[in-house]
A = this chain, B = another copy of it.
Amino acid sequence: SRTLSLAVIPGDGIGREVVTEGLKVLTAVLPPDTKLETKEYDFGATRYHATGQTLTDEDLTQLKAHDAILLGAIGDPSVPSGVLERGFLLKLRFAFDHHVNLRPSKLFPGVGTPLAGSPAIDFVVVREGTEGPYTGNGGTIRTGTPHEVATEVSLNTAFGIERVVRDAYERAQARPRRKLTLVHKNNVLVHAGHLWTRIFEAVGREYPDVATDYLHVDAATIFLVTQPERFDVIVTDNLFGDIITDLAAAVSGGIGVAASGNINPSGEFPSMFEPVHGSAPDIAGQSKADPTATVLSVALLLRHLGYEAEAARIDTAVQADLAERAGQPARSTVAIGDALAARVSG
């Protein structure tokens, strides 16, 4: 028998509603010999207003003891933009060295897309999570004057690029199409771009069975709407990954079904799984939020911890449920969670 120790962070807005359904499905799918232990953490806007804290060293010590972290959503209009994003979400990614940000994009049958003709979309983006323009590096001089200068420094290391590129090759090799596309802007951002390109090519020599491709980020956005079926695995930097995964979510069913894992592949720190969507305060508390993205994030969590069969059962259940939804009136958060839990345990 095995114990799965999970840190649960409901967060703000619709976070608690979707996490409740995620846990419902997780409980239903786990094998009887696995004991689930959850501990809830109160991070987010409420705690920030009460204490001024977003994520302390003591919090990180506690979180580190878990096998994984499930997060609903963090963010509220009452908190100035950037405070929780940087003080909690990015701080956690950096502290736990979540250098692989995994974001699958799959257009399930019956699911709406803004694209005409419902193309066959099934790819995964491996976004670097601990470098690039996300390090907070930079600053301002003559702040608030007409002569102000502000800089943002993108930091890129051979170490940081090599490990995420290698992870992406491994994932590409394990998929039927075995194709990996590097997305960057190496004709303009030459310093970082050439480093990414060189490492991408060097590591690629160890994976001769993986076909490779390069696209500038601007061209990649074109193909994501005109030929999304051309993508299998994409590897890219932190900022480009942020941008193209939102676009990818939009074309493959919307953020209601977009899952995400912030992964530390070595297992030195627990990985964190969360829906790509935000806290959606406008619909919070009304059981209107779609918990599917959270449930799919639970599948990523299970796969990461070695529960491949259970993860696959969730994917199958979601696919069946989505197919049934087409043309039906919208169901509540709870109803969707119940239906998915019933399917995975059935």
Contact = CB atoms under 8 A, between A and B. Distances in A.
Contact of A187 (B86, B114, B195, B255): B86
A86 B83 CA distance: 37
Interface string A140-156: 10101111111111111
A128 B155 CA distance: 23
Contacts of A189: 133, 138, 152
10 closest residue pairs by CB, A with B: A218-B246, A221-B247, A148-B158, A152-B154, A82-B187, A222-B250, A150-B195, A150-B191, A116-B116, A138-B191
A222 B249 contact: yes
B186 A158 contact: no
A284 to B, nearest CB: 18
B218 A81 contact: no
Interface of A: 81-82, 85-86, 90, 113-117, 133-134, 136, 138-140, 142, 144-159, 162, 185-195, 198, 217-219, 221-222, 224-226, 239, 242-247, 249-251, 254-255
A242 B144 CA distance: 27
A186 B83 CA distance: 11
B162 A138 contact: no
Contact of A150 (B81, B142, B192, B243): B192
Contacts of A188: 82, 85-86, 90, 133-134, 239, 242
Given A86-B188, A153-B153, A218-B247, 10 more contacts: A115-B115, A133-B189, A144-B198, A147-B159, A151-B192, A152-B191, A218-B243, A221-B244, A225-B250, A247-B247
Contacts of A158: 142, 145-149
A145 to B, nearest CB: 7
A319 to B, nearest CB: 22
Contacts of A136: 190
B225 A246 contact: no
Contacts of A195: 140, 148, 150
19 contacts: A82-B186, A82-B190, A85-B187, A85-B188, A86-B187, A86-B190, A113-B116, A116-B116, A134-B188, A138-B153, A147-B157, A147-B158, A185-B242, A188-B239, A218-B243, A221-B243, A221-B244, A224-B247, A247-B247
A14 to B, nearest CB: 17
Nearest to A197: B81
Contacts of A148: 157-158, 195
Nearest to A218: B246
Contacts of A140: 191, 194-195
A81 B246 contact: no
A247 B225 contact: yes
